Amino acid sequence: TQVRGLVARLREAGQHRDGDPDILVVFDAGYDVCRLAFLFADLPVQVLGRIRSDRVLYAPAAAAAAGGRGGRPPRHGAAFALARAQHGPPPRVATITDTSRYGRAHAQAWDRLHPRLEHRGAWTDHPGDLPIVEGTLIRLQVTRLPGHHDPKPLWLWWSQIDATPADVDRCWQAFLRRFDLEHTFRLFKQTLGWTAPKIRDPAAGDRWTWLVIAAHTQLRLARGRTQDLRRPWDRPLPPDRLTPARVRRGF
C-alpha cells in the first residue's frame, strides 16, 4: 500500500512519467522480495532485496524433449544452493569495482533464478498454480568492512532479468546506499527530534519535517566551522568527514 501510494504521489507531482526508468525499491533481509515483485508487477517498480545465504533458488525448467515421456512438464530446473555457489554454474555477469570504504568489490550475477513457492504464508490463498517469479541473483564480496568485521558474501535478488554489468553494479551500490539513509533517519529521530512532538495536524507534521531537513542540511554545510568534540571512544575524523551529530555537538 505504501509503495502504491508513493508511485501515485510521484506521478501527481510530475516526478515520474510514462517512459521514465522504473523506480527501484530496496529492502533489507526479512522481506519476501519475490512476493513483493509479484504484487508490484503492474507498477513501474523494480524490487531489490537481501536474501539469506542458506536459500536455494532454481533455474528455468528445461524444455521437454520431442517424443519424450508424457505427464506434466517440470516447473523448476536445476537447484542453485547459495551456500555451495562454487559448485554451481558460472555467473552470467562479473564485475570488479575499487571502493574507498570496502576495498575491492567483486560482484557476480546469475540470470533467471526463482524460488520454489508453496501454498503457505503469503501464498496460502493464491488460486491455482503458484507463479514462477524469475529474477537476477547477485553475490557481492568485498575485501574489508568498517570496524575490521569479517566481510562475508552479500546475496541480493533483483526482480529483473537479463542484467547488464551496469545493472549489477547499480543494484549492489543502491543496496549499500540504503545504509546511509537508515543512519539519516535514525539521526532525524534520535538527535534532531523528528518524532518527539505530539503533532495532530498533518500540515504541521509536514512543516516540522521540512524544518528537521533544513537543520540537517545546515549541519552538513557547517562541517568545517566547528571543533570535533569527540568522546573518548570516538575515532578522530577529518573535518570533511564529521557526522551531523558530531557537528551539532561542536556547536
- Mean pLDDT, the chain, rounded, equals 90
Strand partners, 212: none
Percent of the chain with pLDDT over 90: 61
Looking at residue 38, its pLDDT comes to 96
Region 189-218 average pLDDT: 92
Q: Which residue has the cell 519535517?
A: 209
Give 6-49 pLDDT, tens digit per residue: 898 889 989 899 999 999 999 988 899 999 999 999 999 999 99
Looking at residue 243, its pLDDT comes to 86
Looking at residue 124, its pLDDT comes to 92
DSSP characters over 217-228: HHHHHTGGGS--
CA distances 113 to 48, 57, 86, 185, 188, Å, are: 14, 6, 16, 33, 38
Looking at residue 68, its pLDDT comes to 55
CB 184 within 8 A of CB 216: yes
pLDDT interval class at 239 (50, 70, 90): confident
C-alpha R_g of the chain: 23
DSSP 130: P
Burial 172-187 (b: 16+ CB within 10 A, else e): bebbbeeeeeeeeeeb
Give 161-177 pLDDT, tens digit per residue: 999 999 999 999 999 99
Give 125-182 pLDDT, tens digit per residue: 999 899 999 999 999 999 998 777 788 999 999 999 999 999 999 999 999 998 778 8
C-alpha cell at 87: 559448485
Looking at residue 65, its pLDDT comes to 47
Give 50-90 pLDDT, tens digit per residue: 999 999 999 999 854 444 566 778 889 999 999 999 888 99
Please, where are the H alpha helices in the chain? 2-12, 33-39, 165-190, 202-221, 244-250
Region 211-240 average pLDDT: 89
